[in-house]
Amino acid sequence: MRPWLARLPAAGWPTLDALNALADEAQVRTASGKPLRFVPPSAADPYYEIHLHETGCVATRERNWHDLFNALAWLAFPRTKAMINALHAREIPREGGRRGRLRDMLTIFDEGGAIVRCDDPELLRLIAEFRWKELFWEQRGRLLAGLRLTVIGHAVLERALDPWPGIACKAVFIGIDDDADATAAERLAKYETPQDLAPLPVFGYPGWLPASAHADFYADERYFRPLRKSAPMSRT
């Protein structure tokens, strides 16, 4: 999202008009083909996702970090965000008022997701086995060379304004050279439950916190939890 952040005013909050100018420039569309518009919230929208899908209107509070990061996610990852919205809009009429596991997965990724680009089977194995100290400390040279981590979840980005080591994401894995936006959208279209997303303590990534310069940081199981034997394995 850094290039889009650089396009915002250097001082003060961006207006909805400023965000809409960027969306127009990038030609951001919903999966239904509607041009994306950031608009003030309205109490008249009973189903946010369906309304967005049908109109292209994203309810956006001004001077609100959560909604600003959501807008930036739309600009940076338009295909992924459009896929999330389209799947929500498809599922809501089928649910009969009872939210299903697919929409749980979509919401978890939308709010707290990360895209992990990696082709190194050893690094992927360490993630799957929750071997965090080996991943982030013992193999950090290999990690920095062979794994790219991009946070897309706007709730996690908001929480990162006041960082702490307990912040984690649910990840989608793609190839190192894949188009992050297009491939993440394709992955999400195939997933069905939150268990299809892998947990990842993103603040263990080297350099994100000053504490990551010390080996004992990764021994704290409050944040770097070991794999429970009964836990289902997530897809990679």
Within-domain flag for 5: no
The answer on 65 and 115 residing in a single domain is no
3-state per-residue secondary structure call for 110-140? HHHEEEEEECCHHHHHHHHCCCHHHHHHHCH
| Rg over CA atoms, the chain | 18
201 and 227 in contact (C-beta within 8 Å)?
Answer: no
pLDDT at 36 over 60: yes
- Evaluate whether residue 36 is within a structural domain: yes
Q: Do 70 and 117 have their domain in common?
A: no
Residue 229 confidence class, pLDDT cut points 50, 70, 90: low
- Measured distance CA(16)–CA(18) in Å, rounded: 5
- In sign, the C-alpha dihedral spanning 121, 219, 105, 185 is negative
Whole-prediction pTM value?
0.93
- The answer on pLDDT for 47 being more than 90 is no
Same-domain pairing of 60 and 158: no
In a domain, 224, yes or no: no
- Do 121 and 209 share a domain, yes or no? yes
The 10s digit of each residue's pLDDT in 102-148 is 999 999 999 999 999 999 999 999 999 999 999 999 999 999 999 99
Does one domain contain both 159 and 185? yes
* Cβ-Cβ contacts under 8 Å for 203 (sequence gap 6 or more): 163, 164, 165, 166, 167, 168, 209, 212, 223
Structurally, how many domains does the chain consist of?
A: 2
Select from 47, 73, 99 the last residue of a domain: 99
Q: Is 228 inside a domain boundary?
A: no
Give CA–CA dist 47/92, Å, rounded: 9
pLDDT digit string, tens, across residues 188-220: 999 999 999 999 999 999 999 999 999 999 999
Domain residues for the domain of 152 are: 107-219
Q: Say if 46 falls within a structural domain.
A: yes
Judge whether 135 and 123 are in contact, CB under 8 Å: yes
Q: Is residue 230 part of a domain?
A: no
Residue 181 lies in a domain: yes
Q: Report the C-alpha gap between 77 and 120 in whole angstroms.
A: 24
What percentage of the chain has pLDDT greater than the value 90? 86
What share of residues in the chain are helix, strand, coil (percent, to 5)? 50, 10, 40
Q: Measuring CA to CA, which residue among 68, 66, 72 is closest to residue 28?
A: 72
Q: What is the pLDDT of residue 10?
A: 85
The per-residue pLDDT for 46 is 67
Question: Looking at the structure, do residues 113 and 213 belong to the same domain, yes or no?
Answer: yes
